[in-house]
Amino acid sequence: MKLQQLEYVIAIAQAGSITAAAKNLYQAQPNISIALKELESEIGMQIFWRTPNGMVLTPEGEDFLVRAKDIVESMHSLEADYTNRPEDGISLRISAVRSGYIPGILGEWINELDKDEKLSLHFFETSTNKVIDEVNSGRADIGIIRVPLSQYQVYEEQMANRRFFMRPLAAFVLQPIMSANHPLANREEITVEELEMYPEVVHADDEMQLLEHNHISKEYESGNLKKVYVQDNGSKMILLNTIKDAYMWASPSKGVPTGGRGIVAVKCNAATLKTIDVMICKKTNENNRTIKICMDYLAEKCATLTGALPIEKLLENIERQPAATEEE
């Protein structure tokens, strides 16, 4: 039994067919078919039923898939932990939701390290679901996900089921950010009707459709007719400065969310939902010295964010909600 065979099984189960799995893995379809047949012959068990609608796991195959995932994830984590890590130094891989404040705080942490300290830091920005996958597979030591406060308990249960350690980082209400020269930049508060007169720069990922109703307002419906969808966070900030009078929804930061590029945040009456950013890592890494130091630093600095909400009080209110409902 080879690790690659287990990876093929996982890919087929996720894609639903050998053809799709081959495409996702950039492999030739016959190679995956042969590897699967050899594996099934070796273990004396059929993992998939071949149907007109694709590959379906057999009952035995479902159990095999669970164990195969555990093995593959453990191997990837082991490889990542002991490959290309500097001796007697700091090596860390962080996967996070796109944000203006997280890279800035990480930069401050790096500045405070001893100048002779060896450092290898890999930082990736992506969507919440992909961050969870990165941590789960061992490709990231620390993940930072963005969760609607109303769904915090749901995510808490999911993280526990995955054997993840979960630590709240920052809570806030999203705000529109824009150039300091924007016509609305000097207003204390703006309406959604005023905002939508101008071009919007939008996160273009698989969570784009969920952003408005989960992180801005349940009633919010963007009526903006001019939108620019961008995947890269750096490009978003460039476009925000380049497109005349553009704006973008973003998390708060230390006064200037974009590191001093003349960008300001303005309160909008449409934003009512509270959002919380949460740090996650595998339970087995919870007490890792480097991971703990980094998490502690992030949490300490986030407590001083402009626009941040009191996390402890918010979570206490969430925990009291079930009891209040039962009493009613």
Mean pLDDT, the chain, rounded, equals: 82
Cβ atoms within 10 A of the Cβ of 61, count?
A: 21
DSSP conformation letters of 124-153: EEE-HHHHHHHHHHTS-SEEEEEEEGGGHH
Query: Of 82, 98, 117, which residue constitutes the final position of a domain?
Result: 82
Give the CATH number for residue 296: 3.40.190.10
Q: Which residues contact 158 (CB under 8 A, 6 or more apart)?
A: none
Q: Are residues 165 and 279 in the same domain?
A: yes
- Tens-digit pLDDT profile for residues 45-103: 999 998 888 899 999 989 999 888 888 877 776 665 555 454 567 889 999 988 878 98
Q: What is the pTM of this model?
A: 0.68
Q: Are residues 114 and 139 in the same domain?
A: yes
Taking alpha carbons only, the member of 150, 315, 129, 168 closest to residue 217 is: 150
Residue 301 lies in domain: 90-169+275-315
pLDDT at 260: 44
Give the CATH number for residue 48: 1.10.10.10
Q: How many domains does the chain have?
A: 3
Residue 321 resides in a domain:
no
pLDDT at 278: 95
Residue 116 — φ and ψ, nearest 5°?
A: -95, 0
**Alpha-carbon span 180 to 321, nearest angstrom:** 41
- Tens-digit pLDDT profile for residues 180-238: 889 999 898 998 889 889 998 887 664 544 555 566 766 666 667 788 888 777 788 88
**Alpha-carbon span 27 to 13, nearest angstrom:** 16
- Tens-digit pLDDT profile for residues 246-289: 998 888 665 444 444 578 888 888 888 888 999 999 988 888 88
**Alpha-carbon span 150 to 273, nearest angstrom:** 8
Give 25 or 292, the one with higher predicted confidence.
292
